[in-house]
Amino acid sequence: MLAPVNTPLPAFSALLFGLSGCLVDFGGQASSQALAAGTGLDKHARLTPGALESLQSLRQQGIPCAWLDDLPDAHSQTLCAPLGELVVATARSPVSWPAPDACWLALMTLKVSQLEGCVLVSGNPLLLESGLNAGLWTIGLASCGSLCGLGPEQWEALDVTERERRRAQATLHLYNIGAHSVIDHLGELESCLADISLRRRKGEKP
pTM over 0.75: yes
| DSSP element (H, E) containing 144 | none
- The answer to whether the bond into 98 is cis (omega within 30° of 0) is yes
Q: Which domains does the chain have, with CATH numbers?
A: 14-25+43-201 (3.40.50.1000)
The DSSP H or E segment spanning 68 is strand 65-68
Task: Quote the mean pLDDT of the chain.
Answer: 92
The mean per-residue pLDDT over the stretch 152-160 comes to 96
What pLDDT, in 10s, does the model give residues 46-89?
Answer: 999 999 999 999 999 999 999 999 988 888 999 999 999 999 99
